Structure 1
Amino acid sequence: MERLEIFTMLCFITVVSSTHIPVYDIDLDAPPKSRWDHVAAYYDGSLFVKAIDEAMDSLNISQKLRPIALKIAGDLDHYIPQPYADEMRGIGNALNIELGYVILGNVFYDLYTYDAHYDTNKACTSIVANDDTGHVIHGRNLDYIMADVLSYLVARIRFHKSGTLIFESVSIVGQVGFVTAFKAGKFSMSLNSRNTGYWWNNALSALEGYIPAFIYFREVMEKENSYEEALHFLTDMRIISPAYLIVGGTQPYEGAVVIGNRKGAHVERMNNTNQHGWFVVETNYDPWTAPPPDDDRRDVAIKLMNQIGNKGVNPHTLYQVLSTSPVLGVDTIYTTLMSASNSSIFATVLRK
């Protein structure tokens, strides 16, 4: 890079990193029921409840979902694997809220994500780009209908084991999983919603013991140690609802969109016919299908990325793409930029 480009990038990282996002450490060796106590101490549980109530009220099936959540809460260990079940119990106690709300907050994506409902398709944009030196940068916008409330619950969480930092995430306090994270020197990942099928397909999958998408995401971050390992793990997924998992690596052209079904997945890598050679873009539609006319986020993002070119890609320009309407939406909660090969590039900006 030219000296001016380096200076611009460093200034951008400094400004964005100064945005106040609380940072907490989670010790994975601590007892699961108390791991989140020190985090919950800084939050009002009623905010989490309000977010869930708002989201549930937006659904015309809310009265059907609540009994499912209560059933899961009543026999939590049957539906949620350990240590996550005990973490949820601990969070409920620490936030002083009903366990059913904690369950809903952790499986809401899975029960909420289905076809033919409201504007669920218009949620999230992820981009992985390769600059002309082979450096990979991963950016994402997280969109949700309860953005105004959830923005108060966004935090940066650093997960440790045996005294060593394992990975970092951008999380919603109250959830044991997350949809944005990176493992320094290994890979980065974001999740976008994939809306297919019916709500009851997801509900049945939950009752049959499939893993919530947020928790599956965390399993990948904890267990896998390279870009290729992560992709291999993801192709054998067994999750409650379909999802897009966008993965960035540390080597040139390591970027992919994993199109996940309830069981199994298809991978679209950077450089193939359905992507764009030096970058991948995912909103909420399969890469081989055209987005609907009323949601052109993907087309706008692709046009902007091509205008920049791989010689012009850096955290600042990628942030500009993610800040351009309609890529940046009215329900965008935060924008995150990260790089598995350069851990100094990890910044989140609240949009609400």
Structure 2
Amino acid sequence: MTHIPELNVDLDRPPDQRWDGLSTWRREARELLRFYLRDLGGLDAFSSFLASYRDDFVDPEYVAEMRGVARALDVREDEVLLVNLYYDALKVLLAGPMGCTAFGIDADGTPLHARNLDWTHADGRLAKSTLIVNFRRGNGAPLYRTVGWPGFVGCLSGVAPGRFAVTLNAVLSDDPPELAPPISLLLRRVLEKAETFDAAVATLRDTAVASDSLLLVTGTRAGEMAVIERAPTRAAVRGPEDGAIFVANDYRALPSSSSSSSSAAATTELAATSTGRYAHAERLVRAMVPMDPESCLAVLCDGNVKMGITVQQMVFSAARGSVDVVLPM
């Protein structure tokens, strides 16, 4: 497996001091910040409501953490905030290349959770700056672990050892954005607070969020696998079939529109490649049973599954608390 640097974040420290260790990655974080600000069109496109959205919908604990990130990187706090809201901000802009393919499969009595993160790659900087963050209390074992990059305090991919793992895939419905918490920070809160697989699924199903997503959740026992298909205020949950579950970038249980009219979202480029990646991943996984982390990564690396914007490939085991990460070449 690729050696990925790790950062320990002590949740017992004051929130604005938890990310002081980011100074080691200051240059990389500042480069990523500048790229994603440009990609979103700069602060001006969001300045009229960014502060009010923060005050109403971003947990003050995470606001304080982002203040500490801004101090460690010597950048503006509102810049750190906007880049941390990147996924939800793209829902407002209805733009930006993101994909992702993921699957869960029972292996030796416990699920393995595999995913490609397909993202705006920042001219290769994002993959090179990949960081595993271990969230701890004091010197204890990690309460949860995320795969991200320096300056990002939320979660798109994470595991809570002994409880569950969760990853986010992009999807687009016709529902308007909701004034609600950002999904990446909800995922982090669930990793911290949810005690069981079932509790995580229930919270992610029932909590209003700002934008659309497909959430793969896997637990520690055979069969504990679910895809939660989310629009801002709607949700559907589907379970595994024959010990496996798959997700790409299209709705399969939740209508992509809250109205009865046909959905324009179904015709996007994102959805156009989704069915093929989903089918290829399923065919490869079914042929490789039994699975282990190496064979999961082989599926993720297949040319019909991996995308040109794939920036991180990973396999989680919630039972073991393990995180195996490969950076695509």
TM-score w.r.t. the length of structure 1 is: 0.81
Residue among 92, 110, 116 paired with 1:141: 116
Give the secondary structure class of the aligned counterpart of 1:177: coil
Q: Give the structure 1 partner of residue 252 of structure 2.
A: 287
Q: Distance in 1 between matches of 2:126 and 2:36?
A: 9
Deviation at 1:145, TM superposition (A): 1.8
Map of 2:36 onto structure 1:
52
Task: Report whether the alignment pairs 1:186 with 2:170.
Answer: no
Q: CA distance change for structure 1 residues 264 and 29 in 2, over 3 Å: closer, same or farther?
A: farther
Contact 2:166 2:218 (8 Å CA) reproduced? yes
Query: 1:300: Cα distance to partner?
Result: 0.9
- 1:278 matched to 2:262? The reply is no
Alignment partners' CA distance in 1, 2:53 and 2:171: 28
Q: Which sections of structure 2, spanning at least 5 residues, go unmatched? A: 256-265
Q: Match for residue 203 of structure 2?
A: 233
Deviation sequence 1:164-222 (CA, Å, 0-9, x none): 32111112211110111111111111111121237xx33xx3xx3x1111100001001
Cα drift, residue 283 of structure 1: 0.8
Structure 1 stretches lacking a partner, 5+ long: 1-15, 57-61, 272-276
Taking only the aligned residue pairs, the percentage that are identical comes to 25
State how far apart, in whole Å, the 2-side matches of 1:287 and 1:114 are.
23
The match for 2:301 is: 323
Residue pair 1:156, 1:168 contacting (<8 A) in 2 also: yes
1:261 paired with 2:237, answer: no
Cα distance per residue 1:33-84 (max 9 Å; x no partner): 111011234321431223314522xxxxx37x74325642477433421200
1:83 has 2:79 as partner = no
Q: Distance in 2 between matches of 1:160 and 1:232?
A: 24
Q: Distance in 2 between matches of 1:116 and 1:154?
A: 26
What is the one-letter code of the residue matched to 2:279? Answer: D
Q: CA deviation at 1:281?
A: 0.8
Rounded to whole Å, the distance in 1 between the matches of 2:240 and 2:78 is 41
**Residues in 1 aligned to 2:237 and 2:90: alpha-carbon distance in whole angstroms:** 24
Cα distance change of structure 1 residues 294 and 335 upon mapping to structure 2, 3 Å threshold: closer
Q: Distance in 1 between matches of 2:162 and 2:119?
A: 30
Question: Aligned pairs, how many?
Answer: 311
- Structure 1 position 293, deviation (Å): 5.2
CA distance in 2, matches of 1:254, 1:281: 13
1:115 CA drift (Å) = 9.4
Q: Deviations over 1:120-164 (max 9, x none)?
A: 4xx111111113x32210111101122512123311111012543
CA contact (8 A) 1:69 1:104 kept: no
1:111 aligned residue: 89
Contact 2:25–2:150 (Cα < 8 Å) also in 1: no
| Match of residue 214 from structure 1 | 184
CA-to-aligned-CA distance 1:307-347 (integer Å, 9 cap, x gap): 223xx21111111100001311111111111101123x421
Which of 197, 217, 221 is 1:247 aligned to? 217
Per the TM alignment, residue 259 of structure 1 is displaced from its structure 2 partner at its CA by: 0.7
Q: Is contact 1:134-1:252 (8 Å) kept?
A: yes
Alpha-carbon separation, structure 1, partners of 2:8 and 2:325: 17
What is the RMSD computed on CA atoms of the aligned residues? 2.3
Q: What's the counterpart of residue 152 of structure 1? A: 128
User: Residue 26 in 1 paired to residue 12 in 2?
Assistant: no
Deviation at 1:292, TM superposition (A): 5.2
